[in-house]
A and B are shown apart, each in its own frame.
Chain A
Amino acid sequence: MKHLVFLLEEESAKALLENLLPRIFQNITFKCIPFEGKSDLEGNFVKKLKGYNVPNTFFVILRDQDSADCYVIKNNLKEKCVDASKPDTLIRIACQELESWYFGSLVSVEKVLNISNLSHYSIDKRYRIPDSIVNPKQELKKITNQKYRQVSSSREIGNIMDYRNNTSKSFNVFIEGLKRIIE
């Protein structure tokens, strides 16, 4: 059985993944390590790569793009992974933020927050392409009337999200990457 370690930018990603992943993958064990934001993640994840002494561990780094250049972010992280002798670490970027993935599945947000008709925003031209929304966290708060809560809503979304029908490209790339490691 493979063991995956997720190095995450913050608690909300952990809340999502801890509930979502067991629904998708039954043949893994995993551990989510939340950092306190990007700079904590970037500055300290190498210690985990080096110190995590559990055999058969694969690492996955997930961070938000936050308007930085995807390519630069990835290369920078990749370099550190290679230096830490963990070149096969999967590096994935949520474009722009974790909440972009929720825009990719507004039906689940609608259910979790008990707001009717939220999903009609997915045909709104401002939100149609989740990964292109500039400030998805702010936007999500706006369209949910501030009902969206980063950690608790993420947890609940993880429980019910239809991961096969998410319109966020970066979400699908993330899941595909995991499948490749696991299967």
Chain B
Amino acid sequence: MKIEQIKIKNYKAFKNATMHDVPQMCVIVGANGSGKSTLFDIFGFLKDSMTQNITVALAKRGGYKEVVSRNTKGPIEFEIKFRESGKSELVTYHLAIGLENNQPIIEREILRYRMGSKGLPYHFLDFSRGKGTAVTNELFYQGDIKELKREEQTLAKTDILAIKGLAQFKQFPAAATFGDLIDKWHVSDFHINQARTTKDDGYAEHLSREGDNLALVTKFMYEQHNDLFNSILDKLKKRVPGIESVDSKLTDEGSVLLRFQDGSFKDPFLARYVSDGTIKMFAYLVLLYDPNKHPLLCIEEPENQLYPTLLTELAEEFKEYSNVGGQVFISTHSPDFLNAVELEDVFWLVKNAGYTEIKRAKDDSLIASLIREGDKMGYLWKQGFFEGVNPR
């Protein structure tokens, strides 16, 4: 599945912004406070809404009044257009959340797409304030519109998503794919010191947001996916000179230690004595070689602590993941990282009168023209080309 477009209204700094032609690997640059993390958090918000409800999703973020763009009343709106696969129809999921009597309610929730290439967009699900209609026999992409059966439905509460609340949608491909994307969405905001911490013995398949379960995932990979684990080691050895192997050791006290073996010494180093860059590189490899890839992976500023030359290879690694696994969004400030990516991959966020605008590098004729002449994204970013032609 691939997201093609994201439209946001009245969500924090995004008062009205659209991201068009979202690529398979999407690199987002922008100054501090321009809204990069907020953009990622849209998926977090949708996930909280789906696994729980919008009241919880809002409360986690300080409540409706904190979340809705300053000086606006709302509604908060998201519209995500996606395709299940390269050639399939464009599906639109639309959600509008307002406030009524101080209670957040779902003003509108729509799932729509065209039946056939010439048909009109058809609302497979259309709900407002807990009531609406839903198709009960989705004839995905084929079939005759006349055969569709619609039913009036009422949800248990007005803050529950219909896409979650209606059991029949689980069998609908479009709804199921979208639900799966939101459910398995992952953000990586890696914190070195978290990754160094010793963990009580346990079990973890996926690297957590901050990487604090690295030792456990290492153990899992070593035991359950030894081939993958070995390819991670191979990559690590090529990138970090001296490293021979990595393992997780269970201590007598029942905790798991991550250890790095340096070829020059007999005894391995505990993670807490290994360089930041080494741990980070290892953690990204563990994240990217995950046997169950995330359909949507967001990575916060991967550059910190990494040696500039490693960033080129890391960018290639993310690209590879986006080809074989899911879609990847990466926020960055790093010119070195940007130098390794393509014009088509890059978007930038810039604040205008307090609200974020989303710009696409490819649509900027000056940037595109300079790239054609052999310039690189990172240099242009550093030289101030992402702010517009005139600095004043």
Interface residues of chain A, those whose CB is within 8 Å of chain B, are 3, 18, 22, 29-35, 44, 47-48, 50-54
Q: How far is the CB of A12 from chain B (nearest CB, A)?
A: 14
Instruction: List B residues 351-392 near A (Cβ within 8 Å).
Output: 365-366, 369-375, 379, 383-384, 389-392
How many angstroms between the C-alpha atoms of A33 and B383 in the bound complex?
6
Alpha-carbon separation in the docked complex, A48 to B389 (Å) = 13
**Beyond A44-B379, A47-B370, A51-B366, 5 additional pairs, beta carbon < 8 A:** A22-B392, A29-B390, A52-B369, A53-B366, A53-B369
The 7 closest A-B pairs by CB, nearest first: A51-B373, A51-B370, A53-B369, A47-B373, A50-B373, A51-B369, A29-B390
Q: A34: which B residues are within 8 A, CB to CB?
A: 383
Contacts of B373 in A (CB 8 A): 47-48, 50-51
Complex partner residue of B370 from A3, A30, A32, A48, CB under 8 angstroms: A48
Q: Are A31 and B372 in contact (CB under 8 A)?
A: no
B369 contacts A31, C-beta separation under 8 Å: no
Cross-chain contact A18 with B391 (CB below 8 angstroms): yes
Q: Which residues of A contact B369 (CB under 8 A)?
A: 51-53
The contact of B366 among A18, A30, A54, by CB within 8 Å, is A54
Give complex CA distance A22, B390 in Å. 12
Given known contacts A44-B379, A47-B375, A52 and B366 CB-to-CB distance under 8 angstroms: yes
Q: Are A31 and B370 in contact (CB-based, < 8 A)?
A: no
Nearest CB in chain A: distance from B369 CB, A: 4
For chain B, the bracket of interface size reads 10 to 19
Q: Which of B297-317 contact A (CB under 8 A)?
A: none
Contact A51 B371 (CB under 8 A): yes
In the complex, A176 Cα to B367 Cα: how many Å?
A: 31
Bound: A53/B375 CA distance, A = 14
Nearest-Cβ distance from residue A83 to partner chain B, whole angstroms:
13
Given A34-B383, A47-B370, A47-B374, residue A53 in contact with residue B365 (CB < 8 A): yes
Question: What is B's interface to A at a CB cutoff of 8 Å?
Answer: 365-366, 369-375, 379, 383-384, 389-392
B391 in complex: contacting residue of A32, A35, A47, CB < 8 Å:
A32
Residues of A within 8 A of B372 (CB): 51
B372 nearest in chain A by CB position: A51
Which residue of B is nearest A5, CB measured? B389
- CB-defined contacts of B379 to chain A, threshold 8 Å: 44
A-B contact pairs, 11 of them (CB 8 A): A3-B390, A18-B391, A30-B390, A30-B391, A33-B384, A35-B383, A50-B373, A51-B370, A51-B371, A51-B372, A52-B366
Q: Roughly how many angstroms separate A18 CA and B379 CA in the complex, as a whole number?
A: 19
Q: How far is the CB of A30 from chain B (nearest CB, A)?
A: 8
Chain A residues whose C-beta falls within 8 Å of the C-beta of B389 in the assembled complex? 3, 29, 31, 54
Question: In the complex, A149→B350 CA distance in Å?
Answer: 29
Question: In whole angstroms, how far apart are the Cα atoms of A44 and B383 in the complex?
Answer: 12
Q: Which residue of A lies closest to B370 (CB)?
A: A51
Q: How far is it, in angstroms, between the C-alpha of A70 and the C-alpha of B392 when the chains are bound?
A: 32
Distance from B308 Cβ to chain A, minimum over Cβ atoms (Å):
13
Per the bound structure, the CA–CA distance linking A35 and B384 in Å amounts to 11
Alpha-carbon distance A108/B379, docked complex (angstroms): 32
Q: Name the distance in Å between B373's Cβ and chain A's nearest Cβ.
A: 3
Q: Which residues of A contact B390 (CB under 8 A)?
A: 3, 29-31
B187 to chain A, nearest CB (A): 33
CB distance from B363 to the nearest CB of A (A): 14
- The CA-CA distance from A9 to B366 in the complex, in Å, is 21
Q: In the complex, what distance in Å separates the CA atom of A44 from the CA atom of B339? A: 14
Tell which of A3, A31, A51, A54 touches B375, judged by Cβ atoms closer than 8 Å.
Answer: A51
* Cα of A114 to Cα of B258 in the assembled complex, Å: 54
B345–chain A nearest beta-carbon distance, Å: 19
CA distance A3 to B366 in the complex (A): 14
| Closest Cβ–Cβ distance, residue A23 to chain B (whole Å) | 12
User: Hey, which chain B residues are within 8 Å of A29, CB to CB?
Assistant: 389-390, 392
In the bound complex, what is the Cα–Cα distance between A47 and B375 (angstroms)?
A: 6
Complex contacts, A52 vs chain B, CB 8 Å: 366, 369-370
Docked Cα-Cα span, A22 to B249, in Å, equals 64
Smallest distance from the beta carbon of A158 to chain B beta carbons, Å? 13
Q: Residue of A at shortest CB range from B371?
A: A51
Find the B residue at minimum CB distance from A21.
B392
